[in-house]
Amino acid sequence: MPSKHADNSSAASLRERILEAARDLFLAKGFEGVSVRRIAERAGCSPGMLYHFYANKELLLARVVEDTFVKLDALMMRAAARGEDPLDRLRNTLGAYLEFGLQHPHEYLFLFVHGHSHLAPDVQSVFETRGGACYNRLRAVCAQCAEAGLLRDGMGNPDETAQALWASIHGLIHLLHSAEGFPFASRRRLVRRQIEMLMAGIRKT
């Protein structure tokens, strides 16, 4: 007779297969282009079994988005803990965000496909909580820099500074993924140059 542990392990494995199938199909065809039946087929289960774990397709999308934000937040958290002073921690945090966006292009860009006002409540909640946590990692390090008197005059507002930095690094990620035919410099050098220019622009001289 199968043990309860084996049953739990099997259920967890199926749940993960369903989530992985949904992630792959959403990234390939978009949320609207994928049916629950197709996700179930990809995961090797029946639609009824899928609904046992996930009540609807929107909840699946919420979990996919949540997983992406959790990965990003973990990288940013480790980066924000490294460095001898707040400017070092800010530099590391920007680097971690860029690294994630460039190494996980499909997952990263998928976060910005949908207008937030049109999202289902479960998905909207993930953006507000998990996505907000990622933003707050960056904001907190900007606040540390401001409190330590390390930023130029007029840059003491951590929200303004964090959002300006975010817009800049997001723009680089999007450009590198969307303008594939352009003869860019090596990504490593370009990322390093971008971060150094941003840091030079905000730190007190």
185 - beta bridge partners? none
Q: pLDDT for 143-170, tens place per residue? A: 999 999 999 999 999 999 999 999 999 9
Q: What is the mean pLDDT of residues 18-42?
A: 92
Beta strands in 20-98 (DSSP E): none
**List of domains in the chain:** 1-54 (1.10.10.60), 61-202 (1.10.357.10)
pLDDT score of 5: 46
Per-residue pLDDT at 100 exceeds 60: yes
Confidence of residue 6 (pLDDT cuts 50, 70, 90): very low
At 125, the pLDDT band (50, 70, 90 cuts) reads very high
- For the segment 39-67, the average pLDDT, to the nearest whole number, is 93
Cα distances from 18 to residues 44, 66, 107, 193, in angstroms, run: 8, 15, 17, 40
Q: What is the pLDDT of residue 12?
A: 86
pTM of the model: 0.87
Tokens of 52: 């046992």
φ/ψ bin of 82: left (φ > 0), alpha (ψ from -120 to 50), beta (otherwise): beta
Percent of the chain with pLDDT over 90: 76
Question: Residues 95-111: what's their mean pLDDT?
Answer: 91
